[in-house]
Chains A and B, each alone.
Chain A
């Protein structure tokens, strides 16, 4: 069964460092998303991406965040200068139809020290 894959599963970084989280969405999917979940809190929308551009972003997704689909298969989230409050589980998701029936990856846990 096709699945969304994310790497790394866990990354520890120092405050102020740049982090890139990688995702390989399901191959025939057209809509891509990043969500985050701080421990014990709700799943929060960060950004949606369609047709090689951001279609929507939340207020969390400030200038420190960026997304790219560099090669037609990978979908990356970059955090330019990490803060302590960026510590969270980051989920990539994709869907073919854009209806909200999302397939999630297993997540990348980011710990900022």
Chain B
């Protein structure tokens, strides 16, 4: 069973701080990794994709990938109350045909 694991949280950070979200995955052959954001009662929305080891920055968001450790992370700089949501790590499994598997998500709460 190919799994994606995340700490469920909640992760509580003050406004303006850096929020750090982590994810591990079991399928060593996975090559494509994603972070989605899901507000309560809404659908998932893509924030970042990352395919190579290292860091990828997009505005206040930085995704980090370490394939050797099977570890993906998302940093949110200058956190805002509007960032309060559940963050879903997702992985395209190897040997499948574009099958995207989600972790259970980490709930982030940014307090003013």
> Contacts A41-B104, A100-B92 hold; do A50 and B98 have CB atoms under 8 A apart?
yes
Q: Which A residues from 29 to 60 make CB contacts under 8 A with B? A: 31, 33, 35, 41-45, 48, 50, 55-56
Q: How far is the CA of A103 from the CA of B38 in the complex (A)?
A: 12
Q: Does B101 contact A (CB under 8 A)?
A: yes
**When chains A and B are docked, how far (Å) is the Cα of A55 from the Cα of B98?**
8
Contact A101 B49 (CB under 8 A): yes
Residues of chain A contacted by B88 (CB below 8 angstroms):
42-43
In the assembled complex, the Cα of A54 lies from the Cα of B95 at a distance in Å of 15
* Complex interface residues of chain B between 51 and 97 (CB less than 8 A to chain A): 88, 90-92, 96-97
Cα of A103 to Cα of B43 in the assembled complex, Å: 9
Interface of A toward B, CB cutoff 8 Å = 31, 33, 35, 41-45, 48, 50, 55-56, 91, 95, 98-107
Question: Helix, strand, loop or mixed for chain B's interface?
Answer: strand
- Interfacial chain A residues near B103, Cβ < 8 Å: 42
CB distance from A35 to the nearest CB of B (A): 8
Q: Which B-chain residue is minimally distant from A95 (CB atoms)?
A: B98
| A91 to B103 CA separation, bound complex (whole angstroms) | 16
Which A residues lie within 8 Å of B49 (CB)?
99-101
Q: List 6 A-B contacts (CB under 8 A).
A: A48-B97, A48-B98, A101-B34, A102-B100, A104-B44, A106-B43
A56/B100 in contact, CB under 8 A: no
A-B interface, 3 closest residue pairs, ranked by CB to CB distance from nearest:
A104-B43, A55-B97, A42-B104
List the B side residues contacting A107 at CB < 8 Å: 42-43
Contact: A100 with B32, CB < 8 Å? yes
Known A91-B43, A104-B45; contact A42-B97, beta-carbon cutoff 8 A:
no
Nearest neighbor of A59 in chain B, beta-carbon distance: B1
Chain B, Cβ-Cβ closest to A99: B32
- Report how far A98 CA is from B98 CA in the complex, Å: 6
Closest chain-A Cβ to B37's Cβ sits at a distance in Å of: 11
Asked whether, in the complex, the Cβ of A56 is within 8 Å of the Cβ of B102, the reply is: no
